Every structure is written in C-alpha cells, then in structure tokens.
C-alpha cells in the first residue's frame, strides 16, 4: 500500500543552514585545539590522534608474537636439544634444525645430551602463529616482542642460531623477556575398566557343551 509523503516544514534557520554550519565548525575547532594543546604536553604519545613513530612506541601486549629467540637456562646453557618438534609443527615449513651430540666437556654449554648444531628460521615465510613455541617440549624457543623486522636484503631475514641467541640476550638486557609459560594442565585418562572374563569353570562347561553338540 502506498504511503503518503509527509513534507517536512523547515524553519528559516534550517533553510539558511547557518546554525548547523557554526555548530560543525565549533566541533572542528574543539578537536583542533584539543590536539594542538596536546602537542605541548611532555612525554611520549603527545598527540592523541597520531602516534609519532618511531619516537612514540606503543606498549606491546605480553602475548604479542614477534621475533623468535632461543633461550638459555638459569645456568646459561642452551635449552634447545635439537629435537625438531618446532620444525615439524611449523605450518610454513620455515624452520631447519640439525641435531648434534653433546661431547665430553661441553656439558656446561648445553642443558641436554643433544643440542641444535644448526637452527635457521626463514622470517620471510614465518606467519608468527606461535606453533613452534607451543610445540617445544623444553620451552627453548619463544616469540618475543621485537616487531621492527624490516631488512634490506632477504638473506638477513634468515635468522641463524647466533641471531636467535642474540635476540634472547637483547630482550634480557632490555627486560622484555616474557614470563615463563604455565604448563597446560593435562587430565589423567580415566582408568581402563578390566575386561570381563568368564570364570574358568563356566568357560570349561561351555567348551564341553559345544564338544557334545558336535559329537
């Protein structure tokens, strides 16, 4: 059904638009003066509408996943045992690990009996999913808070073990280490019900019956 068109009656001020224009300009000036005054406030984040990167750096959430690092334990030994679990869990297939056996006299350098002789991450392929961190049984690899990862050449985006260890040292010195992950509680499986076994005597009787039937 057609609806009748109701024509709105505009007042003189509506038709001139002057008051609305003044209202709009007032709002613009209000925001301009607010931001202008904020420019002179001391400290970082001076302009609320615009972060002055790189002078103003935002705080990073503790769960942020940035550049990887290989951790050392409290005795300064490499935690990584070169098991390759991280490489297997990586969906982008960007981790390469080669395992080596710890020789006599090297126990002070490595926490396990084996170590990663070679560890490479191709950061150009990494999608920062964090699966490697979750898969590591030793808590040896962590995605830190470093996000300024641009390089001039692709070769520099191939992080080797030395770079990953250096990332750890840097984060440690800057106090940017993540707190250790809490182990995920795993419920113990319910005890298996014992299989129902027929009493030996009953089983014997059944066999005897079957034997007489056949005869």
Cα angle value 160/62/126 (rounded, 5°) = 35
Contact in structure between 38 and 47 (CB atoms under 8 Å): yes
Of the candidate spans 2-10, 24-32, 128-136, 155-163, the one that interacts with ligand SF4 by CB under 6 A turns out to be 128-136
Q: Is the peptide bond before 54 cis (omega within 30 degrees of 0)?
A: yes
The CA–CA distances, whole Å, from 104 to 13, 36, 80, 108 equal 92, 67, 18, 10
Contact letters for ligand SF4, residues 38-77 (x by CB under 6 A): ----------------------------------------
81 sits near ligand SF4 (criterion: CB under 6 A): yes
Considering only 10-18, 41-49, 88-96, 205-213, which stretch makes contact with ligand SF4 by CB under 6 A?
88-96
Smallest distance from the beta carbon of 92 to ligand SF4, in angstroms?
4
Identify whether the C-beta of residue 111 lies closer than 8 Å to the C-beta of residue 73.
yes
| Strands in the chain per DSSP E | 68-70, 95-101, 114-122, 141-143, 158-159
Q: What does the per-residue mask of binding to ligand SF4 show for 143-162, with x meaning CB under 6 A?
A: x-------------------
Pattern 194-213, ligand SF4, x by CB under 6 A: --------------------
Task: Please tell me the total number of residues recorded for the chain in this structure.
Answer: 215
Please give the Cα distance from 178 to 154 (Å, whole number).
28
Pick one of 21, 117, 127, 203: the residue that binds ligand SF4 (CB under 6 A): 127
Kindly list the residues in this chain that would bind ligand SF4 in the complex (CB under 6 A): 80-86, 89-92, 94-95, 97, 116, 121, 126-132, 135-136, 138, 140-141, 143
């Amino acid at each position: 059904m057609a609806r009748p068109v109701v024509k709105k009656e505009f007042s003189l001020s509506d038709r001139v638009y002057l008051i609305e224009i003044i209202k709009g300009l007032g709002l613009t000036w209000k925001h301009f003066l607010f931001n202008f005054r904020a420019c002179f406030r001391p400290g970082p984040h001076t302009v609320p509408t615009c972060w002055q990167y790189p002078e103003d750096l935002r705080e990073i959430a503790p769960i942020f996943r940035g550049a990887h690092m290989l951790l050392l334990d409290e005795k300064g030994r490499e935690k990584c045992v070169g098991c390759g679990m991280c490489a297997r869990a990586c969906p982008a297939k960007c981790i390469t690990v080669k395992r080596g056996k710890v020789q006599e006299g090297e126990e002070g350098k490595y926490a396990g009996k084996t170590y990663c002789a070679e560890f490479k991450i191709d950061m150009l392929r990494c999608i920062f999913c964090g699966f490697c961190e979750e898969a590591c049984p030793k808590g040896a690899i962590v995605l830190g808070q470093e996000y300024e990862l641009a390089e001039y050449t692709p070769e520099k985006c191939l992080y080797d073990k030395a770079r990953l260890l250096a990332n750890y040292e840097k984060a440690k010195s800057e106090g940017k280490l993540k707190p250790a992950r809490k182990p995920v509680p795993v419920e113990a499986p319910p005890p298996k019900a014992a299989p129902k076994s027929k009493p030996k005597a009953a089983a014997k009787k059944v066999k005897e019956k079957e034997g007489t039937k056949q005869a």
